[in-house]
Amino acid sequence: MGLTIKSPSRIHIGLIDLNGSIGRIDGGVGIALDFPNFYIEGKESSEIEIEVKSKGIQEDILRSIKDRLLWVSKKVLNYIGEDGIYIKVKSIIPLHSGLGSGTQMALSTGMLISKIYKKDLDVKTLASITGRGGTSGIGVYAFERGGFIVDGGHTFGKGKDKERFSPSSASKNVRTPPLIFRHDFNWSVVLTIPKGENIHGEREIDIFKRYCPVPLEETQKICHIILMKMLPAVVEEDIVSFGESINKLQYLGFKRVEVGLQRDTVKDLLKELQKVSYSGLSSFGPTLYSICNGREDIKKVVETSKEFFDRRGIDGEVVITKGNNEGFKINI
């Protein structure tokens, strides 16, 4: 057995500023999760070999995972001057679900290669090599240290970090935004994941073009809620204030756009969950998350989710998890 690495998934609560009038854009708020994980094993090889534990994984997803890991492996191996790596994928974070699978695949693969060849590249260097963190830094910092995270976004304008509004997939050669707040997150989280069409790729890029800049007034409200309600609530472990912040942020700024573009099933499910919990859409979805304080809260969310799936006749998954306050783990 070679070296193994396990990285957390993440909730992306929202982008803070897609107005840009103050000279910065983006800025992210999110939470690292203990499960699901991206979990891989690797060892030295003279060529690039990617093996994926394929049970229950659709053929197109399997191909996408292999293609991504091959691309990342080539980038990192070229950077450190090595030829090959053997990687076995043991578990994945669902792709295009709003849980940050792309960043965790890239950083886990890069870190694995770095450690196997004793190069000890830091996380920000790996993010730069693999093109992550171009819009939000939540995935990068979730990987590095876990917890509840706020990043400070990018400078905006001609000759700055970014000259246009764009998702990470279209923001190459952009540095990882600075970490401006990090705190342990100790509440339980229930993920409700309805199956169906998801937003990603070219469609995601087009949405940024069409809906940005968002109104300044909404950006100001978002900043007020985060700074004066959400952050103190995390520090003081006030789940009511934190949860109220989550519910309000669903209908402001770019998050309002992300929610509004969901299919009716997701929008209706969010409304149902907000009747019994504090719930939001992670990134572009379709994953919905609910913040819970104890077994009774969890039970309500799980029952509401399953009843909704049954009533609508749709497939979906309900996952009980919690905050991850450590980031990635390596075992030799």
pLDDT per position as a tens digit, 253-282: 999 999 999 999 999 999 999 999 999 999
User: Where do we find the tokens 């077994």?
Assistant: 295
Contact in structure between 174 and 130 (CB atoms under 8 Å): no
pLDDT at 57 (0 to 100):
80
Mean pLDDT in the chain?
A: 95
pLDDT at 137 (0 to 100):
96
Rounded CA-CA distance 161/174 in Å is 6
Q: What are 166-175's pLDDT values in tens digits?
A: 887 778 789 9
pLDDT at 6 over 80: yes
Q: Which CATH number fits domain 1-329: 3.30.230.120, 3.50.50.60, 3.30.565.10, 3.40.50.1370?
A: 3.30.230.120
SS3 track for 76-117: HHHHHCCCCEEEEEEECCCCCCCCCHHHHHHHHHHHHHHHHC
Going by pLDDT thresholds of 50, 70 and 90, the confidence category of residue 201 is low
Contact in structure between 191 and 318 (CB atoms under 8 Å): yes
Q: What are 135-144's pLDDT values in tens digits?
A: 999 999 999 9
Structure tokens given for 71: 């691309």
pLDDT at 218 (0 to 100):
98
pTM reported for the whole predicted model: 0.95
